[in-house]
């Protein structure tokens, strides 16, 4: 299978490339100039804001599958750079969809959206047919991306699947995300680089966490078996309290660590529980998460211990 990963230089990209390579795919991946990326694939430099370049690459590669991961993926940055976020996540996606539309042989396309698109949810677990109430600029652009995907799938009979990914975690994730942040702080404390106080936000929020390695396995199964035109939640289907995660991280450390609330880490509107209904994903692909959260935490902690010791 000739497979293209657009945005392969990001957190998820490296794991997706590894999963595809292990599965025997011929993998092409795009990165932005200067980005670090795995080398077990053929690399192409691509800015998705250049429509001609996107078209030229797709015409050259004629892929069977396209995973579109490239995005401005930070909620925080989306408040500060709304135009950039809309450009990359909406115009960039349109450039990809238009380029794919011109191809003679239509590839399967996975557009990666977010559980954030639902916004504050009143029912849990939240299913794909629930209304979308995006509560930030990033979420709104991802909702828009998904709508464009559904429109192109219907109007042009394109093989597009839309994913709404809930919180994913694992080694290599930026420490702006809670599990990575707590693991990084714990490793820094162990190495004497930080006072023995871990700075925390709202510990009572419950979120649906999945190991990134399970997430990319779901993406590949969706490309294989998912129904074109459909939207799929990807998550564990189980909400976990952030407090429990902190306890698990601290239990894996020998250091005596106390916790202190940092007002900067408290979100103005924190949704109490977010949990994905994953029955559609499971029914259509048979996917089950395999890596328990304890293992993800252990691996993420080990990653930060290595990184900070360098």
N-term to C-term CA, the chain: 38
**Minimum CB distance to ligand A2R smaller for 15 or for 182:** 15
Distance CA 205, CA 48 (A): 35
Structure tokens at 17: 């490339």
Please state the closest distance from residue 269 (CB atom) to ligand A2R, in A: 20
* Least gap, CB of 190 to ligand A2R (angstroms): 26
Cα–Cα dist 284/233, whole Å: 12
Nearer to ligand A2R, 73 or 248 (CB): 73
Taking a C-beta distance cutoff of 8 angstroms, is the pair 103, 40 a contact? no
- Least CB distance to ligand A2R at residue 43 (A): 12
Alpha carbons 181 and 115: distance in angstroms, whole number: 20
**Cβ distance to ligand A2R smaller for residue 128 or 190:** 128
Pairwise CA distance, residues 71 & 183, whole Å: 25
What is d(CA 173, CA 183) in angstroms, rounded to the nearest whole number?
11
Query: Shortest gap between Cβ of 151 and ligand A2R (angstroms)?
Result: 19
Shortest Å distance, C-beta 10 to ligand A2R: 2
Residues at the site binding ligand A2R, with contacts judged by CB under 6 A: 7, 9-13, 32, 35, 46-49, 69-73, 88, 92, 112, 114, 165
Q: Which is nearer to ligand A2R, 93 or 186 (CB)?
A: 93
Q: Give residue number: closest CB to ligand A2R.
A: 10
Measured distance CA(101)–CA(270) in Å, rounded? 39
Measured from the CB atom, is 114 or 198 closer to ligand A2R?
Answer: 114
At 72 the three-state DSSP class reads: coil
Residue 123 C-beta: closest distance to ligand A2R, Å: 22
Rounded Cα–Cα distance for residues 160 and 106 (Å): 10
Query: Are 281 and 215 a contacting pair, CB within 8 Å?
Result: no
Cβ of residue 31: shortest distance to ligand A2R, in angstroms? 6
Q: Smaller CB distance to ligand A2R: residue 35 or 150? A: 35
Of the pair 70, 293, the CB lying nearest ligand A2R is at 70
What distances in angstroms separate CA 134 from CA 38, 113, 160, one per listed residue? Answer: 33, 12, 22
> At its nearest, how many Å lie between ligand A2R and the CB of residue 238?
19
Distance between CA atoms of 24 and 255, rounded to whole angstroms? 43
User: Do the Cβ atoms of 213 and 206 come closer than 8 Å?
Assistant: no
Nearer to ligand A2R, 189 or 218 (CB): 218
- Identify whether the C-beta of residue 187 lies closer than 8 Å to the C-beta of residue 301: yes
The CA R_g of the chain, rounded to the nearest whole Å, is: 19
């Amino acid at each position: 299978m000739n497979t293209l990963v657009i945005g392969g230089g990001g957190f998820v990209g490296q794991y997706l490339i590894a999963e595809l390579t292990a599965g025997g795919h011929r993998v092409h991946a795009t990165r932005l100039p200067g980005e670090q990326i795995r080398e077990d694939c053929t690399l192409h430099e691509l800015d998705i804001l250049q429509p001609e370049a996107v078209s030229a690459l797709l015409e050259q590669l004629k892929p069977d599958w396209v995973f579109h991961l490239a995005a401005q993926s930070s909620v925080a940055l989306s408040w500060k750079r709304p135009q950039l976020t809309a450009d990359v996540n909406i115009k960039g996606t349109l450039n990809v969809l238009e380029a794919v539309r011109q191809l003679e042989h239509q590839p399967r396309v996975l557009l990666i959206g977010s559980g954030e698109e639902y916004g504050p949810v009143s029912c849990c677990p939240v299913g794909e047919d629930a209304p979308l109430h995006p509560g930030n600029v990033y979420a709104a652009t991802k909702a828009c991306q998904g709508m464009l995907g559904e429109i192109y799938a219907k109007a042009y009979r394109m093989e597009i699947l839309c994913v709404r990914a809930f919180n994913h975690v694992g080694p290599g994730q930026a420490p702006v995300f809670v599990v990575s942040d707590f693991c990084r702080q714990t490793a820094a404390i162990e190495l004497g680089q930080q006072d023995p106080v871990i700075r925390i936000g709202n510990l009572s929020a419950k979120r649906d966490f999945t190991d990134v390695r399970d997430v990319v396995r779901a993406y590949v199964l969706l490309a294989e078996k998912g129904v074109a035109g459909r939207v799929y939640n990807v998550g564990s289907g189980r909400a976990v309290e952030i407090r429990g995660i902190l306890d698990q991280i601290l239990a894996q450390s020998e250091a005596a660590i106390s916790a202190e609330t940092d007002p900067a880490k408290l979100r103005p509107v924190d949704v109490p529980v977010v949990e994905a209904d994953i029955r559609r994903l499971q029914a259509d692909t048979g996917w089950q998460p395999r890596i328990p959260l304890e293992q993800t935490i252990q691996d993420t902690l080990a990653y930060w211990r290595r990184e900070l010791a360098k």
